[in-house]
Amino acid sequence: MKETNVSNPAGFILLGFSDQPQLEMVLLPVISVIYILTLMGNTAIILVSYLNPKLHTPMYFFLSNLSFLDLCFTTSVVPQMLWNLKGPEKTISYTGCVIQLHIALGLGSTECILLTVMAYDRFSAICRPLHYGVIMHPKLLWQLASVAWISGFMGSTIQTILVFQLPLCSHHMVDDFVCEEPALIKIACVDTTFLENELSVASVLYVVIPLGLILVSYGCIVRSLLRIKSAEGRRKAFGTCGSHMIVVIVYFGTLISVYIQPKSKYTQTRSKFLTLFYTAVTPSLNPLIYTLRNKEVKWALKRLL
């Protein structure tokens, strides 16, 4: 295969599971249904949080942000994925790849920070209940949400610029469903040690540190919950925290598997399935998890319907 350097190609070929057409035929209807459920579920969460006065609380403010983020994230990736799954045409333009990488990285990083902010909200509500209304005032809510969105896209902008400064090999075949940074680094025709180190630093900043802060917050929460004498109060607190913790485990678990795990020649197929999971499946699970484990949301949804 010819390995000439091209700094600004016309487009890329997203290989995905092109070597397994039968699997693509199965994935197309499955991902389509999941995408529709994602749109419906997250839109419902935003609507009930906005229309129901009882849900005008910090927790549901951040949950609405999370649902809006998931809507944007899945829409930036899944339509292109479905187009590639439905036929032999599996290309994406150079500009489209740049935009997709920038948006997906930005939204993915923002979700990591936002989940950390939500953990701090639960920590304040359970560990400092008497001061909760003073701590989580409306101005602080908007400031925390703004920090999550701005910091996420700042990191994404830097990473996207660095990736597309690389001279790329002439075949332009990206061995993934979407324009992912690790897959794009692999088709560079120069030494990528610096960029791989930069990706490791970004993983620490946006994955390891937020996850560490979440675990510390939940360590304090569990300690406080064990002191609650009321079984009903303890059960309710575990219910709201449990939903958030499930989302954290699912989301950070897949991110760690894709970005931080040691790479080997045996992990590429599994990496594709993990990418498929956190780009298409995870955004559809968040509304389901919060709805099934939260009586307030279920009640609000029934009223909305």
Characterize 113-143 residue by residue with b for buried, 16 or more Cβ atoms within 10 angstroms of its Cβ, and e for exposed. bbbbbbbbbbbbbbeeeeebeeebeeeebee
CATH of the domain at 278: 1.20.1070.10
User: Letter for the amino acid at 124?
Assistant: S
In a domain? residue 20: yes
Q: Tokens 């791989």 identify what position?
A: 196
Expressed as residue numbers, the domain containing 168 is 12-304
In a domain? residue 2: no
| pTM for this entry | 0.88
Q: Give me the tens of pLDDT residue by residue for the chain, a chain 305 residues long.
A: 444 445 556 788 888 877 787 888 888 999 999 999 999 989 988 988 888 888 888 988 999 999 999 999 999 999 988 888 887 778 888 899 999 999 999 999 999 999 999 999 989 988 888 888 888 999 999 999 999 999 999 999 999 999 888 887 766 788 888 888 888 888 888 888 888 888 888 889 999 999 999 999 999 988 888 777 777 767 777 776 888 888 899 889 888 887 776 555 446 677 788 888 888 888 988 888 877 667 777 777 777 77
**Distance of alpha carbon 189 from alpha carbon 185, whole angstroms:** 9
In a domain? residue 143: yes
The total of structural domains in the chain comes to 1
